[in-house]
Structures are given as C-alpha cells and as structure tokens.
Amino acid sequence: MKVAVLKETRADEHRVALVPQGVQTLIKSGLEVAVEAGAGMQAGVSDDQYRQAGATVAGSAAEALKDAGMALLINPPETGALSGMAEGTILVSFLSPMTNHALVKALKDKKITAISMEMVPRITRAQSMDALSSQATVAGYKAVLMAADTLPKFLPMFTTAAGTIRPGKALVLGAGVAGLQAIATAKRLGAVVEAFDVRPAVKEQVMSLGAKFLETEHDVTAEGEGGYAKELSEEQHQKELELIAAHIADADLVITTAQIPGRKAPVLITADMVKSMKSGSVIVDLAAESGGNCELTKAGENIVAHGVNVLGPTNLPATIPVHASQMYSKNIVTLVAEFVTKEGELNLDFANDVVGPSTVTHAGEIVNERVKQAVGA
C-alpha cells in the first residue's frame, strides 16, 4: 500500500505528519511512502532526507495521492486534498469531528475511512498514539516561555548587590497535559506556582511538580470520560470563579488550558478579574481557538486590557516544529501499526479498542456514535 504524506497548507503550520524515522518504520512494515515536495522543510527535514529514508518525493499533493491507499496529515484536509483522495482511502489526521460537521459529511460522501487523532481513546496502551497529549506538551512549554518573554519582570529569585528580587508568581488553570507541562516549565524558570483543576485526581501530580494545588471547601469537581473535565453546574462554576478571583490578583503570569471536547471553552477569567491584576501581568490563553478561558481573549491576537497582556496564541505546537513533528510522527506510526500488519496488509478491525473509537467515517457511513450524534444535532 502506498502512503501519502502531504504538505500542510494552514498558514501558521510548520510541522509535518511524518519524519524520516517514521518513513523507515512504515517501509519496514511493507508500505510504500510518497512525500509531497517541501513537506518537511519548515520542520527541519529536507526532501533528500526523505529520499535517504526510502521515500519517494512527489512534486505535488495530487502526485503524492495518486494510487495512495492512505494519507497522513496534521490538520484537517482542505477541499483540494480531499478531492484528490480515491474512494476507500484511509485518512489519518486531526479532524475536529465533533465541530467540523461539513468535513465529516464530505468524508462520508467521499467514502473515505477517516481516523481522527482527537478520538484516540485515553487508555493506557494508547498513550504512545495520543497526539493530543504530545502536542499539548509542546503548547504548555511554549506558553510559559511566551509569558516570561512578555512579563516585564524576572521569574526566578535573584540575590544581588542591588538587593533581592522576589520570584514571580504563576497561576495555571487546568492541570491536564498542557497545564502540567506549564507548571513544570514555570518551576524550572524559578517561579512560585499555584494551579487549579476541577479534577481532584490531578492534585497529586500538581504537587509532585512543586506547585500548590488550590482547593475550596465547596464542591467544584467535574471529571468526565477518559480523564477529561466535564462541564460544571452554574453553581459550581460560580464557586470556581470565586476561587480563581481570590488568587489571580497576586499572579504575575496566568496560563489557562481548560477545554471540554466538542464544547466552547469555559470562561475562567472575567473582565473584572483582569482589571484586578497588576499592571504588566500576562495571561496566555491556550483555549483561544475554542472560545478562550479569558473573557477578553482574542484568538490569534495579543492585546493589552487594564494594563494586562492577554495573549491568545493559536497552534502553539507549530512554533516548535522539529520536536512537535517528531512526537506526532511517533504517534501516527504507532496508530497505523494497529491496522496494518507487519507484512503491510490492511487489517481494519473495528472491534480493536483503539481503531474502533478513532474511526469517524467508513464505507460511506459515520461510524462513530459520538460524532454521529453531534452531526445529527
């Protein structure tokens, strides 16, 4: 089977779905790999490196897709790439299937077997395939660097002849993979870190990284399926906001990471909270693309409100493309091994506890029940 690796077309994208090491792994499995020319350039991979790994380099997406039985991408395919895929092609990519209903319907109509990286279940054996987690690691790390670069203060404590500089204070809202990486990075840079999450199970992880876990006497816990947070009741949300408001005024930098799959991101920082913060403080909102955790966030923009820098970055993993691509490539190669045998034969077993939940469309049908309900709604 021929596997096509396409060049990403999103304007702010610098990653590539498969690096040369991944090419070698797929070829050892009996697959043929064609990479669109220039696909890896911004991730530090030349066309010659792909050739040396055993891939052929195609002059265009159409050429790469010709006779291909599988296509690998990071971002959802645009119309041009989708039209170049033959019926029955297996597409493995991020697809945003819970909200990108038009794409899901197009994949169904085209009879593409679409496997969504977002839908990989969070089970122990699928950790090496979990691209949401690998890319969230990159985002959490980079968010703190952005905040530190914008903050008009030092983060670590300094003792100098001119006096002692007190360490900066960081508040991390949401202690999933991105939040935990943000905590670890802020601690490495010398900040005093506090964190809050509606999932009490993460308290031990937060504390193991040296941060203080914020708690309230009121019940604001909401743990959903697969370790994700779920939506709070209105009363719980108000108690959550009160807790955050009591701590945010003293923070020099705030990293927000709270998202609910298939829903608009919850508002955790109100305009009044921003107003209460010290001038020069920084908020980095990692939920900017899904509506933002801060009421004032503007996706893709850095604004100043009440003297506070509110950063709404989009696609942060693409800003560290070399390692982000290596991690994603490992995720996707491991996932492909779930439905391609060591002899290169296709074995799409929907009873498989990874392949089944990850598959969105197949043979002209939406086969994922959650996505089917979302699209129907």
Amino acid at 321: P
The active-site residue out of 130, 197, 252, 285 is 130
The active-site residue out of 47, 228, 236, 370 is 228
Active site residue 127: yes
3-state DSSP assignment of residue 305:
strand
The active-site residue out of 48, 52, 122, 208 is 122
Of 97, 6, 48, residue with least CA distance to 376: 97
The active-site residue out of 133, 181, 205, 326 is 133
Residue 228 gets the label, from left (phi > 0), alpha (psi -120 to 50) or beta, of beta
- The H-or-E segment that residue 254 falls in is strand 253-256
Rounded Cα distance, 252 and 153, in Å: 9
Tokens (6 digits) for 265 = 């991101």
Active site residue 141: no
Active site residue 130: yes
- The H-or-E segment that residue 304 falls in is strand 302-305
Residue 176 gets the label, from left (phi > 0), alpha (psi -120 to 50) or beta, of beta
Extended strands (E) in the chain: 2-5, 32-36, 56-58, 70-72, 90-93, 113-116, 158-160, 163-165, 169-173, 192-196, 212-213, 253-256, 282-285, 302-305, 308-311, 359-362, 365-366
Q: Is 183 exposed, middle or buried (0-12, 13-18, 19+ CB in 10 A)?
A: buried
Of 364, 371, 284, 350, residue with least CA distance to 97: 371
Active site residue 133: yes
Angle at which helices 101-109 and 369-376 pack, to 10 degrees?
Answer: 110
Give the dihedral of Cα atoms 33, 110, 118, 356; nearest 10 deg. -90
Helix, strand and coil in the chain, % to nearest 5:
40, 20, 45
Amino acid at 327: M
The active-site residue out of 127, 233, 238, 373 is 127
Compute the radius of gyration of the chain from its Cα atoms: 22
Active site residue 228: yes
Residues recognised as catalytic: 122, 127, 130, 133, 228
